[in-house]
Amino acid sequence: MLTWADGGALLAVFVWGVSFPVLKGLMTVMSPVTLMLIRGAISCVVMGVILARKGGWRWPGSEDLPVVLATGLIGFTLNQILYSWGLHLTTASHSGLIFTVTPLFVFAMSQALGHIRLGRLDVLGLALGVGGAVLIIGWPSRGVAGEASVLGDLLTVGAAITWGVWTIVVGPLLQRRGTLVATLWITLTGTLGLVPFALPALARQDWALPWWAFAGFVYAGAVSSALGSLLWYAAVKRLGAARTVIYANMESFFAVVAAALLLGERVAITSLVGGVAVVAGVLLTRRRG
């Protein structure tokens, strides 16, 4: 039965899908990693204000630190570096399509950890997913906003995998500490991890930016990062990683539509076929859920 958590997960992937072309546009006036630092800082402020009003702020305990550091530095810092440079070097449409591999990675990790058993249809689903990813990466498409590149696509694959790791590992922490507290700890840790990588470009940044750039910062930090993360991890806490991550498939659809509307990007038919193959693979692997 569908619950509020299912709706929250769907809303999260919607705002994340729209963020692909928004961030791509912002990268024309700011370096990728610096943009991720600004985005993370805004997100921390928003979540911190909410938490302060609720009176629920507390520092992580010793038993929480390993998970906070792992998810913060791998699931956030490394993820944001790979994601930002991947998006910078490819198109927003390609980046959104490639993120459809995340559920397959989560499924494979769940099987490796013994949470589920691999069947013949599961193997077929994984093969479809891998083949679809190859189609997306193998035929870059040209659009108004630029040309997709294999390097950018591969970096985005790395970002999708690190996001999958984050989704799997963070579950116990969410259960112990709550969605808002745990998400703020992770976002703050990951944002601080971005500082040394972003400082050189930040020092050279020209802040005489057009109005739409500041509107984009608000959307990227407050709506996409803060609201999206809270909705997503609330769903992970309620539904579990494997069931929640199935909604990530819709992110590619929202990203492609938003990129076409906002950036005028066009997607090659082979990339669309690859995206369909990945979604079909995920549906096969999740048929029992």
Tokens standing for residue 130? 């891998």
Q: 11-43: string of b/e by CB count within 10 Å (b at 16+)?
A: bbbbbbbbbbbbbbbbbebbbbbbbbbbbbbbb
Other residues' Cβ atoms within 10 Å of the Cβ of residue 112 = 10
Q: Mean of the pLDDT values across residues 92-102?
A: 76
- Helix 228-239 vs helix 179-204: crossing angle, to nearest 10: 150
Q: For residue 144, what pLDDT is reported?
A: 38
Domain boundaries, the chain: 4-204+231-285
Q: Mean of the pLDDT values across residues 204-211?
A: 93
- Helix 102-112 vs helix 150-169: crossing angle, to nearest 10: 50
By percentage, how much of the chain surpasses pLDDT 90? 30
Per-residue pLDDT tens digits for 51-89: 888 776 777 878 888 888 888 898 899 999 999 999 999
Amino acid residing at 129? G
Q: Please name which of 259, 275, 32 lies closest in space to residue 144, comparing C-alpha atoms.
A: 259
- Do 175 and 125 form a contact (C-beta atoms < 8 A)? no
Q: Mean of the pLDDT values across residues 18-31?
A: 94
